[in-house]
Amino acid sequence: MGRVAFIFVLLLECMIAKEDTALKRCAVCHESKAPPLSRIYRRYLMLYSSKERIRNKMVDFLVSPSLQKSAMPLGMRKRFNPQAHPAYSKTVAKEAAKELIEKFDIVPRIIVPKR
């Protein structure tokens, strides 16, 4: 019984760790030397509008980062050099994009005043 409980707790921890991993990995740089993730999300939001399109564009960039694929303004691209951005597997990139959208989405924060 003790073994079963141990395995269950281990699996759960692994799952939680996996959820946080992708975005945490991004946050390492984007909280210090790269543009903040919230600003990146808003930039993507302003350019691509729908979550589906934002996700696709982000994954595309994360899988093979390049200057052309970067959505950031020219000044920022020159300053932060997107070619140097590490590349990720498609799975990790998808996960990171999903977490980013969920975390920084603006719409759920907007309150519609009642008439």
Partner 1 sequence: MSITFESEKKALRRFLALYLISTFFLIAVGLAIFYNYSFHRIIDHQNSVLKFRTSLIVPMLRKLHTSIEPHLLYPKIEGIHTALYDIDKNYLIGDFKPERVDWHREFWQEDNMLYYRKNLEPYYIGAANIVAAMPLDKTPIIVLRNRIILAFIFAMLFVFFISRWLGKLFLAPVRNTFELLNRFIQDTAHELNTPVSTIVTNVELFKNLYFEFESSEELRRIEIASKRLSRLYDDLVYLQLNHKRRRKIENISFDKLLKERADYFASFAARKNIELKNEIDISVLKEMDREDAIKLIDNLLSNSVKYTRYGGKIWVRLKKGFFEVEDSGIGMDKEALKHVTKRFFRADESVGGFGIGLHIVYEIVNFYGWELDIDSKKEVGTKVRVIWEE
Q: Does 113 bind partner 1 (CB under 8 A)?
A: yes
Residue 88's nearest CA partner among 45, 29, 38, 15 is 29
CA distances 51 to 34, 47, 56, 97, Å, are 23, 11, 9, 10
Nearer to partner 1, 18 or 53 (CB): 53
Give the integer Cα–Cα distance in Å for 22 and 49: 23
Nearer to partner 1, 45 or 92 (CB): 45
Q: Does 75 bind partner 1 (CB under 8 A)?
A: no
Question: Please, are residues 22 and 96 in contact by the beta-carbon 8 Å criterion?
Answer: yes
* Smallest separation, CB 61 to partner 1 (Å): 18
Question: Please, are residues 106 and 45 in contact by the beta-carbon 8 Å criterion?
Answer: yes
Nearer to partner 1, 74 or 111 (CB): 111
Q: Does 51 bind partner 1 (CB under 8 A)?
A: yes
Nearer to partner 1, 51 or 69 (CB): 51
Positions in the binding site for partner 1 (CB under 8 A): 38, 42, 45-53, 106-107, 109-113, 115
